[in-house]
Structure 1
């Protein structure tokens, strides 16, 4: 028994992937969680018309963890349009004789929630029984968590499942000798990668279509944009996931090794899929989103489902997905030649 335990320990210590997964991966993930979900020093910006509000209210607002900016009465009355044009402002506060206190937020987000919370603290200090009405430019107050973050789940599930299936299938092809026999023919390595990518992309596209239709028409996930653009973004994301799985699989000899890479390849992307506002991440770590393939797909899906954007607003995200897929194709071709020497 002791001999067997020692052998297992030696084997594990000799496997760098296992050591990384046991020691480094938890520390990496916990660090990301700390940065993303820990206390933020972000100070929300609130727009008010200081001339139309009592000085005591203005003073109470400024005493909170808020940046108060003075805006015109016209902007206050048309708060939703103002927030659409001034996205650096998180909320607009208005005190109306008929409707009472009103807070208008751009969307349901961590930044908006903090702005609303600080305003409510200021009002509670003056009048604990004060009632405040909250409205949103995009979304609604009674929306469920699924409606608010549904676009994130669409992107995550599609990307993760396609990555696992394509990556493991390609590892199995190499370990079984199928790929080696295939490369003994005149076929080029680039044609091999393209063939596998196109083949698995067919199933990825079917999955993307099913997920979108099931979520919107069966689960009643709210969407204000054209479903066609959602499908296009999902399909491009699924194709990118196939190429991403193929790239990671090149560095794995077995299915187990591929699974061991998930903490370093998939989990970090979860945090850049829209769960947390990127500008709340300290040390400019939010800029890492541009090297995460899921960011482009999730951002495009959100733009259509939440904001109702069309092609002219999301074309940059779509171009980013296409560029990422092409880059992965080139990397897959080079990596196959360098690491497999077939």
Structure 2
């Protein structure tokens, strides 16, 4: 037993990737979480009509951790339209005899919740028993977390599962000698990568369609926009995941090494999938989203499902996925040179 334990320890120490995953990966992930979930210092911006609100309440709001913007009475009558045109404003606070006090936010989010909390604190200092109504441009009060973040899980599950399947399968193809025998034929490297991508892409597309249909029609995940654009986005995201898995598999020599790369390749992308508002991430780290394929897929799916966007609103995200898949294709083609020199 002792000899077996010593052998396992020696093998693990000699495997640098295992040592990295056990000792270094947790530290890197925790450091990333520290930066992404740390205090961003974000100060919400709210709009009010100072002429329609008592001076004492205006002063109480300005004393909170808020940026208070004076909005004209014409705009304040249609707060939802105002928020659509001014994405930099997190909430509109209105006070009227008919509807009482109302906080209108763009959507249920961390930013809106922080703005509402500061407003409620200001009101509590003046009228502790006052009731405040909540209203949203998109979304409804009391909706489940699944409805709020369902688009994130659609993107994550599709990308992660396809990545694992394609990455491990391609490593198995190489370790079994299939890839080497294939490269001995006149077939070009680009055709090899394209063939694998198309082959596994078929299953990725089927999986994407099943996930979307099951989520919307069985789990009743709410969707405002056209389901066709969701399916198209999921298909492009799945194809990108196949290319991503192929890239990792080329630089891995076993299925275990593919798994070992997950903390460095997949987990960081989770934080840029929409779980955290990008402008709440401190140190401008939110800009890292542009190098994360999941960001483009999740942003497009959210646009369709939450905002009801069409092609004209999401085409940039779709183009981002296409360019990402194309660049990975070029990278994979060049990486195959280590298996065959042309």
TM, length-normalised to structure 2:
0.98
SS at match of 1:133: strand
- 1 CA distance for matches of 2:34 and 2:278? 14
The 5-angstrom pairing of residues 227-246 of structure 1 reads 227-246=227-246
Q: CA deviation at 1:15?
A: 1.4
1:173 aligns with 173
Q: CA deviation at 1:39?
A: 3.0
2:58 aligns with 58
1:276-324 CA-to-partner distances (Å, cap 9, x unmatched) read 0011111111111110011111100000000101000100000000000
The 5-angstrom pairing of residues 258-269 of structure 1 reads 258-269=258-269
Further displaced range: 268-277 or 181-190: 181-190
1:335 aligns with 335
2:44 aligns with 44
SS at match of 2:123: helix
SS at match of 2:105: strand
2:101 aligns with 101
Q: CA deviation at 1:2?
A: 4.2
- 1 CA distance for matches of 2:125 and 2:38? 27
Q: Is residue 2:288 matched to residue 1:313?
A: no
1:22 aligns with 22
Q: Is the 8 A contact 2:36 2:285 kept in 1?
A: no
SS at match of 2:137: strand
Q: CA deviation at 1:3?
A: 4.0
1:17-49 CA-to-partner distances (Å, cap 9, x unmatched) read 111111111111112222233333100000001
1:283 aligns with 283
Q: Is residue 2:248 matched to residue 1:248?
A: yes
1:209 aligns with 209
Q: Is the 8 A contact 2:273 2:299 kept in 1?
A: yes
Further displaced range: 23-32 or 290-299: 23-32
SS at match of 2:76: helix
SS at match of 1:300: helix
SS at match of 1:272: coil
SS at match of 1:130: coil
Structure 1 alignment gaps of length 5 or more: none
1:124-149 CA-to-partner distances (Å, cap 9, x unmatched) read 11111100001001111121100000
Structure 2 alignment gaps of length 5 or more: none
1:141 aligns with 141
Please give the root-mean-square deviation of Cα atoms over the aligned residues, in Å. Answer: 1.1
SS at match of 1:102: strand
1:137-191 CA-to-partner distances (Å, cap 9, x unmatched) read 1111121100000000000000000000000000000000111111111111111
- 1 CA distance for matches of 2:284 and 2:19? 29
SS at match of 2:50: coil
Q: Is residue 2:188 matched to residue 1:188?
A: yes
2:124 aligns with 124
Further displaced range: 267-276 or 7-16: 7-16
SS at match of 1:215: helix
Q: Is residue 2:113 matched to residue 1:113?
A: yes
- 1 CA distance for matches of 2:297 and 2:271? 14
- 1 CA distance for matches of 2:38 and 2:283? 13
SS at match of 2:94: strand
Q: CA deviation at 1:13?
A: 2.0
SS at match of 1:107: coil
Q: CA deviation at 1:5?
A: 3.4
Q: Is the 8 A contact 2:300 2:317 kept in 1?
A: yes
- 1 CA distance for matches of 2:198 and 2:185? 20
1:216-261 CA-to-partner distances (Å, cap 9, x unmatched) read 1111100000111111001000000000000011111110111000
